[in-house]
Amino acid sequence: MEWLKRLFGNHEEHEPLLSRQEDLPGIGEVRIAYVVDCMGAMCPRPQLLTKKVVEQIAEGEIIEIVSDNPAAVEAFPWLAETLACTCLLTVRERDRWRIYLRKGLGSEAAGNNG
């Protein structure tokens, strides 16, 4: 039931669920600062959780959103633009998608993530 607490809890700040190095295809080695776990969440919950995290991270940091909701995944490129983020990559896995967003647009956000 931990995922329910993360999904519906009233947290002032999001703690990183995981911070790790990741080799993203076509992008290279990056540091993932936060993972936004949206498994089982219906729209607009994934977008709201992502917005909350983006507001708390530094310019240039990268987050990974994990979702099993096709409608939510389709909305992330638009959401990224709205949040002044760059949508780096969307990876389809068997039962989920992983979406990678970098806070900031274009070259301004291309700082050191390693």
Question: Which residues belong to the active site?
Answer: 43
Give the E-state strand segments of 1-114 in sequence order: 20-24, 28-37, 62-67, 85-92, 97-103
CA atoms within 13 A on the CB side of 52: 21
Distances (CA, A) of 13 to 52, 54, 96, 109: 8, 11, 25, 22
